[in-house]
Structure 1
Amino acid sequence: MAYDYFYGQQSEQFSFYRIPKILFSQDKFWNVSTDAKLLYGILLDRMNLSARNGWLDEAGRVYIIFTIEEIKESLGCAEKK
């Protein structure tokens, strides 16, 4: 597969995970791994989907269902990681 440059608005065709900058800019998060920060972004994405689906608990908090197996698959990692 050949990868080419993006032209004009082509980059808009992709979805992206959003990871809060604070995880990279605040000293208190220096020891959090980049994998954990990436997982946080994936979980935020799932939270937005849950909110759109109205998945709220009795206190009005959004909840997600994301199994360990799904996390391992998303990150491409093993159980021990």
Structure 2
Amino acid sequence: MPYFYGYEAEQYAFYRIPKVLISDPRFRNVSTDAKLLYGLMLDRMSLSVKNGWLDNHGRVYIFFVLDEIQELLQCGHEKAVKLLAELDSDRGIGLIERVKRGQGKPTIIYVKQFCEKE
């Protein structure tokens, strides 16, 4: 069998987007780019757990600044802001909750579950 060289090792690294975001009518009005951003945020959750980024209630949070979103999604500032708003619990579907910390500190983002517990 052949070896993996350089970036070839990355060919089996995937971002996962939950199927329910595509198939469930509740998410019909969420843009494809916002769904992709949510998948990127889910991926960041494992890094947050490794870093011990938990609040006082044991909830995992992530940091994902606008510059990173713009770079990963190859979009402008306005579009990145719009995508975050689309996912936000204040103005959007409620898949994320953002908590501003002020004074130049990055916003904490709680990535919420897409399925309700029964």
Do they fold alike, i.e. is TM over 0.5?
yes
| Aligned partner of 1:36 among 29, 34, 37 | 34
- What letter corresponds to residue 42 of structure 1 in structure 2? L
TM-score, length-scaled by structure 1: 0.80
Which structure dedicates a bigger proportion of its chain to helix? Answer: 1
Q: CA deviation at 1:14?
A: 2.4
Q: Deviations over 1:8-62 (max 9, x none)?
A: xx88852110111000010111110000000000000011110122111111011
- What letter corresponds to residue 55 of structure 2 in structure 1? D
Aligned to 1:76: 74
Distance 1:12 1:75, change over 3 A: closer
- What letter corresponds to residue 18 of structure 1 in structure 2? R
Q: What percentage of aligned pairs have identical amino acids?
A: 62
Is the partner of 1:77 in helix, strand or coil?
Answer: coil
Distance 2:9 2:54 in 1: 33
Distance 2:11 2:31 in 1: 29
Distance 2:14 2:33 in 1: 16
Is the partner of 2:78 in helix, strand or coil?
Answer: coil
Is there any run of 5+ residues in structure 1 with no aligned partner, and where?
1-9
- What letter corresponds to residue 58 of structure 2 in structure 1? G
Matches within 5 A, 1:1-81: 13-81=11-79
Aligned residues: 72
RMSD of aligned C-alpha atoms? Answer: 1.8
